Amino acid sequence: MTPFEVERTKLIANAYDRASTACFTVGIATPIAGFVYNVSGFRNTIGYGAMALSLAGWLIVALGLHLLARQVLKRLRP
C-alpha cells in the first residue's frame, strides 16, 4: 500500500468516526440533556418509550459507524 493510500484510508476512517461522534452528540447527548433539564417542556412532549427507542436507534447508528471506521483501518495491516 502506497503512502497516499494509507493516508486516504486513515482519512476515510476518521470521517466515519467523526460521523459516529456527531450521531452520539445529536441523537443521544442532546436529547438526554433536554430531557433532564426539561428544556422547553421537552419531558412533557416525548414519552419514555419514544425516548428510549430514539436513543437506542441513534446508539446503533453511532456504534455501526464506529465499527465501520475500525473495519476500514484493518486494511492498514502490513
pTM: 0.88
The interaxial angle of helices 48-73 and 3-24, nearest 10 deg, is 170
Q: Would you place residue 1 in the very low, low, confident or very high pLDDT band (cuts 50, 70, 90)?
A: confident
* 2-to-8, 9, 21, 48, 51 alpha-carbon distances in Å: 10, 11, 29, 51, 46
Distance, in Å, from the CA atom of 42 to the CA atom of 38, rounded to the nearest integer, reads 5
Question: Residue 37's domain spans which residues?
Answer: 7-76
State the DSSP H helix or E strand holding residue 13, giving kind and residue range, or none if neither.
Answer: helix 3-24
Task: Give the pLDDT confidence of 13-56 residue by residue, as tens digits.
Answer: 999 999 999 999 999 999 999 999 999 999 999 999 999 999 99
Quick one: three-class SS letters along 59-77?
HHHHHHHHHHHHHHHHHHC
- Domains held by the chain: number: 1
For residue 2, being part of any structural domain is answered with: no
